Structure 1
Amino acid sequence: MVPPDDGPLPPPRRWAVVAAAIGAGIGTGLLGTSLHGHALYSGAVAVPLGAVAALVMLAAVELFVGLWSRNSWTVVLCGAAAYLCAGLLSMQRGAFGMISANIQGTVWLYGIALVTPLAAWLSWTILRRGRR
């Protein structure tokens, strides 16, 4: 037996949207930082597969948060939280830093700043089409 359809869900509350965006950004920043260091070496050239996978994960999480909240600005908030988390983890504490100044670290840190506006634009485009 199929349950009756009660129509669309109500929009989430503002505090829930902000908490979800920040939490998803911090979680993705932590997971992406742990993933970004994996690389495929072809001779002396490193292909940053881990950083690319981390950026794909970030884009998916940001798009999910933006479409769930029905607001493309939450994508920017999620990306800012991920960038802040990755930035704090990249700080060199003595001889230890989780994000090094190599190709993987560069792709991960600069990629966050590139993927976030693209995901916000994609979220905005999808939400705008849904309102027509």
Structure 2
Amino acid sequence: MGLFSGTISNLEYGLSYASTKNKVVAQNIANSDTPNYKAKDVSFAKMLEDAKTSSVSAYRTDNKHINFTTSSTKTPGVYSYTNLSYRQNGNGVDMDKEQASLAENTIYYNALIDRVSGKLNSLLTVAKGGS
């Protein structure tokens, strides 16, 4: 049985998603004036699916078999809007949407951090004997 019945690890997955989302939004904002740049986004469901299938290793029945692993070189869960353009130069970044997404993601990240902090503080309280 894991500590907190897996709550901390679930919060860790959420923080990983929020961190990836923040990087993608920051990259979109930084490239808002780059011609032909297509905006990117992160999907938690796609991120989870990519994480499940991102690393596959061979089942070897003999030591002479070649061992191989495949892994994705791209960041899991990140995808591009390839057919979307907001400007004449082909740029697909909507600054209003990106800024709203950044604010929403910041609130989500801070909420997760508060939950992790609460869980760790309750562990500290138990370790101290309830005082």
Q: Normalised by the shorter chain, which TM-score bucket?
A: 0.3 to 0.5
TM-score, normalisation: structure 2 = 0.33
Structure richer in helix, relative to its length: 1
Higher strand fraction: Structure 1 or Structure 2?
2
